[in-house]
Homo-oligomer: A and B are copies of this chain.
Amino acid sequence: MRVGFIGLGIMGAPMASNLIKAGFELAVHDCVRERTASLEALGARPADSPAALAPLAEVFITMLPDTPQVEAVLFGEAGLAGALSAGSIVIDMSTISPRATMEFARRLGERQVEMLDAPVSGGEPGARQGRLSIMVGGRREIYERCLPLFQVMGSKVVYTGPNGHGQKTKLVNQVVGSLNLLAAVEGIRLARAAGLDLALTLEAVGGGAAGSWMWSNLGPKMAARDYAPGFMIRLHAKDLRLASELLAELGLDAPGTELCHELFEKAVAEGLGELGNQGLIRLWETD
Which A residues are closer than 8 A to B by beta carbons?
Answer: 98, 120-123, 126, 132-133, 135, 155-156, 158-161, 165, 168-169, 171-180, 182-187, 189-191, 193-197, 200-201, 203-205, 207-215, 217, 231, 243, 246-247, 250-257, 259, 263, 284
Task: List 12 A-B pairs, Cβ < 8 Å.
Answer: A121-B205, A121-B207, A126-B209, A169-B191, A169-B196, A169-B200, A172-B187, A176-B187, A177-B183, A177-B210, A194-B246, A194-B250
Please give the count of copies of this chain that the complex contains: 2
Q: How far is the CA of A178 from the CA of B175 in the complex (A)?
A: 15
Pick from B172, B180, B191: contact of A180, CB below 8 A: B180
Q: How far is the CA of A212 from the CA of B180 in the complex (A)?
A: 8
Tell me if A's interface is mostly helix, strand, loop or mixed. helix
**CB–CB B176/A179 < 8 A:** no
Pick from B158, B183, B213: contact of A204, CB below 8 A: B158
Those 10 A-B pairs whose CB atoms lie nearest each other, nearest first: A133-B208, A121-B208, A156-B207, A179-B183, A177-B210, A212-B212, A158-B204, A176-B187, A133-B207, A176-B210
Pick from B160, B186, B254: contact of A186, CB below 8 A: B254
Chain B's closest residue to A160 (CB) is B200
